[in-house]
Each structure stands twice: as structure tokens, then as C-alpha cells.
Amino acid sequence: MDSDQKLFPSKMIVTTTILVKTTTITHTWQKHNNNMTLAPNRHNNAPRTLTQALIEEYHDQQEQAEFIVLFSAIQQACKNIASAIRTAPLDQLTGLAGTKNSMGEEVKQLDVISNNYFIDALMSCERVCAMVSEEDGEVIQVPKQLRRGPYVVAFDPLDGSSNIDVAVPVGSIFSIYKRRTPSSEEVDLEKDILQNGNSILCSGYALYGSCTTIIVATNKGVNGYTLDPVSGEFVKSHSQIQVPKKGTIYSVNEGNEKTWTPSTQMYVRNKKGDKDKGLSPYSLRYVGSMVADIHRTLFKGGIFFYPADIKSPEGKLRLLYECNPMSFIVEKAGGKAMIGHKEGRVLDFNPKTIHQRCPIYLGSSDDVDEVLECMRQCDQN
């Protein structure tokens, strides 16, 4: 395989075609064997695709058209990444790329490939004026001739990529902002790129797990669309997702416990239950891919956190393309996303640099309130 093929593997097209053919045959067979239906036929339920949902959601024609084009680029990038991941070990696409990113972290081959898919799709859709990617040290400027668009997109093309070589779910995260400066001017770092999370128009993630699902949050709520290999479309699978008010799971890298603040230590001790106080223990679940951990939290409730600690007082996760998009999703689904009891909401935090980090506690509102209460108590003592 030459290097160009590695950056944009073409094998996915073949894979998709084979998948489509096989599944179509299965469906036809089911249709002609009424008494022997193996699986419910999801096509009876008039599936609504992500594109159809956008048409319904945006009534303003201009906005509708812009969003449809932008989202078809995001969907294409996610389909390409899903396909590359599915056969990565066969295509020698696992392992390191041999370079480091702007934060000095080792980059995986699939990080580079996924980043190229996102940049390529977003550039060519001509609706984006600038991008921020975890994999690029600087803002990615869109060439003038492709810069007709009103949107800024921040993304982490392959989150949790340390899990990729062992076939554990990973994901892509994105958030979309409206450009604030006039299109005749140059894009401005502070006004256009370093926008506060409250200005997000829409954010989402794609989870590449046992199925590929995109979760999309807008001001109208949070919905999920699962990739249907028959049609190649993202079809609505989850409507108006709401995070349970309280859960029974905590999710954190507990190996870092010794470096945490006393309040985080106290909170986790409490989560292990206390017979004398009649408190049952929570379960610990930690995939180590934020997308997978947040996906579970959205549906099952509980709390995910990556706190500040002695090693990294700003936490680990990045504000623009990890914390903000996930906080927007969780809040739109009725949950909470906080930095701390003094620092407040993640979405209120004003970014100063594009790769800024931020401590984060997010999930069910009762669980997030409880950790904030622990912080308050520890501060008083």
C-alpha cells in the first residue's frame, strides 16, 4: 500500500458495496419468507434519516441548505472513518504514525487518516471558513476560494485512539459555531474561533462501536442516528434523548486517585457505598474513550469526570473539541456539565487558546450536584 492509499484508504468503498449486497439479499429473502422472519424489518417504520431530520428542523431555507451540505460532509467523514476502523488490522492501519501532535502526544496512523477525512470533507463542502482539530497545532485556514461558508467547526477526529489497536470503541467529536466577522474579512481568532461554548449551534459525536451511531444536539434536543449498511444512511434510532436524573455508575480513571484533590477523593470513596449510612455502591465503568463513556452516561445516567489533579491542574480533556461539544449534548439532554463548584458550567468558560484543557464533571444532574456538594464541604473544612 503506498502512502497516499494509507492516508485515504480506498478499500472502504469495496467493503461497503459487499456489505450492501449481502444485506440486501438477506432482506429480500426475509420478504419472501413471511413465516420465517429472522429480524424485525426496520424499514416498515418509515425511518427518518439525519438529512430528513435536518430538513424538518431548519425552516429557514438558507440555514436549511447550509446545514444539509455541512452535515453531509460530516456524515461522509464519519462513514469513511468507520470503514477504515473496521478493517484497520487487515490494512496495517493500526499502530503509530511515527509523529507527535501539538501537545507532544504520539499520533496513531488512524488519527492522521481520520483527520484527513474530516478536513477533506469540510473543506470541499465550502460551508466552513476555519477549523480547529486536535491533530493540528494551529487553526486550519480554509483557502479563500472555498471559504464561502458561515461556519467554524472544531473537532477531535478520532477520540480515544489509544484504544484503537485493541478494537475498543472510539469516536469523533465535533461542534459547529457561526462565524461572527463578515465574510469579506479575515477570520478572527478571538471573535470567530475562541467562542464561548454557549454559542455552539450544534454539536455531536460519532461512536464507532458494535454499530456506528451519530448523536446530534441542537437547541431542539438530542437525537441519535445509526448507520444503516443497507442504505448507507444514518437513520434515526434514538429520539429526544434525556439523561436519567440520577444514575448508579461513576466513570473516571481511578489510577490517578493519589493525585486528585481531597474533594474528588472523598466523592469516589462515597460512591463505593457505606453500609452504616445505607448507601449502596455505584458501579465503576471506564472505557477510556470519552465518546463511549459519554454515550453510556447519556442513556444509563451517572457521572463521567476527568478532574484537575496535581500533575495537570487543568485536567486532560480539551475545551474546544472535547469538553464543550460533550457539555452541550449533556445539557441539551437535561444533564449537567461543570468544571467545579466555584468555576461553574463548562459552557460558560471562555477559551484563551485553541488547545486549552479543562477539568470536567458531567452526566446526571443529581450526580453532578453531589460531586459539587463534596467540593463545597471540603472547601469549608
Return residues touching Mg ion (CB under 5 A): 156, 159
Reading the block at residue 313, the C-alpha cell is 491542574
CA proximity to 225, closest of 210, 211, 214: 214
From Mg ion, ligand AHM, none, interface partner of 161 (C-beta below 5 to 8 A by class) = ligand AHM
In angstroms, the Cα distances linking 323 to 57, 96, 124, 156, 329 are: 25, 25, 27, 11, 10
> Is the Cβ–Cβ distance between 282 and 302 less than 8 Å?
yes
| Burial of 46 (C-beta count, 10 Å sphere; 0-12/13-18/19+) | exposed
Between 52 and 259, whose beta carbon lies closer to ligand AHM?
259
> DSSP alpha helices (H): ranges in the chain?
3-7, 11-31, 50-57, 61-86, 109-124, 262-271, 290-300, 324-332, 365-380
> Nearest approach, Cβ of 161 to ligand AHM (angstroms)?
5
CA proximity to 330, closest of 215, 201, 168: 215
Binding-site size, ligand AHM (CB under 6 A): 13
* Pairing state between β 170-178 and 151-159: antiparallel
Between 100 and 220, whose beta carbon lies closer to ligand AHM?
100
Choice from 66, 135, 156, 309 touching ligand AHM (CB under 6 A): 156
Site string for ligand AHM, 268-307 (x = CB under 6 A): --------------------xxx---------------x-
* Pairing state between β 283-284 and 249-251: parallel
Examine residue 223 and tell whether it contacts ligand AHM (CB under 6 A): no
From Mg ion, ligand AHM, none, interface partner of 301 (C-beta below 5 to 8 A by class) = none
Between 17 and 353, whose beta carbon lies closer to Mg ion?
353
Reading the block at residue 6, the C-alpha cell is 494509507
Examine residue 323 and tell whether it contacts ligand AHM (CB under 6 A): no
From Mg ion, ligand AHM, none, interface partner of 309 (C-beta below 5 to 8 A by class) = none
> Nearest approach, Cβ of 114 to ligand AHM (angstroms)?
11
What are the beta bridge partners of residue 176? Answer: 153, 202
Examine residue 134 and tell whether it contacts ligand AHM (CB under 6 A): yes
From ligand AHM, Mg ion, none, interface partner of 316 (C-beta below 5 to 8 A by class) = ligand AHM
Residues in the site for ligand AHM, rule: CB under 6 A? 105, 134, 156, 159-162, 253, 288-290, 306, 316
